[in-house]
Amino acid sequence: MLEKILPSRIFNEILSCENMDKICEIRIRKDKPIIYSISGKYKILERGGQAYIASQDEIDWIILTASEHSIYAQDEPMKQGYICTKDGIRIGICGQGVVEKDKLCAVKNISSICIRIGKNIVFSSSKLDKILGDFGSTLICSPPGMGKTTLLRFLVKKLSDSGKNVLLLDDREEVSSVGDINENCIGMCTDIALGIPKNIAYKYFLRSMRPDIVASDEIFGDEEIDAIVDCVRCGVKVISTVHCDSVDRLVKDTRYDRLCRCFRYFVEIEDIGKIGKVFDKEM
């Protein structure tokens, strides 16, 4: 996948020193060294014994190629700070923002990009058996880069294949669109609201699709919390993820009282692909 969006000279330099299948993230900044991640550990890309310094032309080439030479088609995702390729690679972007009435309308002069590559991490922990056997609303918690989205995908597939109707709100096209992962990775009873802002999808598809479970990635903001509260009030169970360094700190933060009351299970990921504690509020 990466050979399609990286300039050949960058791709070949990485290929010469690493197994491409192990790379999780590549950070490219104008006039600065290229840095990539292997299993959560960052390394500087070198060329001839020196750090490989990225140019603005290389950044522009990546953005143009990833958008399939149609920047305008990526207008809405770019307002949210990313581009998502059809192979499921998400490219975060940073540059000069155009803001009108406290709303980001565009990002131009992109000077930094973060390429994140989804991996098919296998979670086989027996700690998940109870959740799958007696499902209740579940919140997956961890810092960035530990595999929250992968675990969400894993649980969605298991629940869906067990006969539960799952509505997956995949606004950033990250959960269901992962290039090297089998297209059936989200299960046989899953309906996907793809590329639709979650606040809109909660409002319209909850009624039209009548799901048993609503799944979404990365809860952010009061509007999303309001939507989750409404789902639970209607008797629909929810599975989602949130950035936090520990469940203990999350549940003690009064700002998240409403959110935490919606969930029965809290799953803490302590390392890449490794489940730590699983909390059950009914125990």
Say what the pTM is: 0.78
Same-domain status, 186 and 110: no
Task: Check whether residue 182 and residue 68 sit in a common domain.
Answer: no
* Cα dihedral value 242, 243, 249, 252, nearest 10: -40
Same domain for 262 and 135: yes
- How many domains would you assign to the chain? 2
Contact of 4 with 87, CB cutoff 8 Å: yes
Q: Do 158 and 58 belong together in one domain?
A: no
Calculate helix-pair angle for 222-233, 198-209, nearest 10 degrees. 10
Range of the domain at 275: 126-280
**What pLDDT shows up at residue 181?**
45
Looking at residue 43, its pLDDT comes to 92
Residue 194 — φ and ψ, nearest 5°? -100, 125
Q: Are residues 268 and 172 in the same domain?
A: yes
79 and 111 within one domain? yes
Last residue of a domain, one of 116, 148, 168: 116
In a domain, residue 176? The reply is yes
Instruction: Centre a 10 Å sphere on the Cβ of residue 82 and count the other Cβ atoms it contains.
Output: 19
Q: Is residue 272 part of a domain?
A: yes
255 in a domain, yes or no?
A: yes
The residue assigned the tokens 């579940």 is 138
Beta strand residue intervals within the chain, DSSP E? 23-29, 35-38, 41-44, 46-47, 50-51, 82-84, 90-100, 103-116, 138-142, 166-170, 190-194, 213-216, 237-243, 265-271, 274-280
Q: Does a structural domain hold residue 152? A: yes
- Residue at a domain's end among 73, 95, 116: 116
Asked whether residue 112 falls in the same domain as residue 247, the answer is: no
Q: Is 121 inside a domain boundary?
A: no
173 shares its domain with 265 = yes
Instruction: List the CATH number of the domain containing 98.
Output: 3.30.450
Residue 235 inside a domain? The answer is yes
Residue 72 belongs to some domain of the structure: yes
β-pairing, 103-116 with 90-100?
A: antiparallel
Same domain, 86 and 188: no
Q: Note whether 184 and 226 are same-domain residues.
A: yes
The CATH number of residue 226's host domain is 3.40.50.300
Mind spelling out the 3-state secondary structure of 38-72?
Answer: ECCEEEECEECCEECECCHHHHHHHHHHHCCCCHH
**23 and 73 co-located in one domain:** yes
pLDDT in tens, the chain (283 residues): 788 889 999 999 888 878 777 788 899 999 999 999 887 789 999 888 899 999 999 999 999 898 887 776 677 777 778 887 777 678 999 998 888 877 777 778 899 999 988 766 666 678 899 999 999 999 999 988 788 888 999 999 999 999 999 999 988 777 876 544 445 578 899 999 987 888 888 888 988 899 999 999 999 888 899 999 999 998 999 999 999 888 999 989 888 999 999 999 999 998 877 898 899 998 7
Q: Which residues contact 52 (CB under 8 A, 6 or more apart)?
A: 10, 13, 33, 34, 44, 45, 46
Cα 212-215-221 angle, rounded to 5 deg: 125
C-alpha dist (Å) from residue 257 to 131, 222, 227, 240: 22, 12, 15, 16
* The pLDDT value given to residue 120: 62
Gyration radius of the chain's alpha carbons: 20
Exposed, middle or buried, 188 (CB in 10 Å: 0-12/13-18/19+)?
exposed
Question: Is-contact 241 146, C-beta < 8 A?
Answer: no
Tell which of 84, 116, 148 closes a domain.
116
Check whether residue 66 and residue 157 sit in a common domain: no
Given this model, what pLDDT does residue 179 score?
46
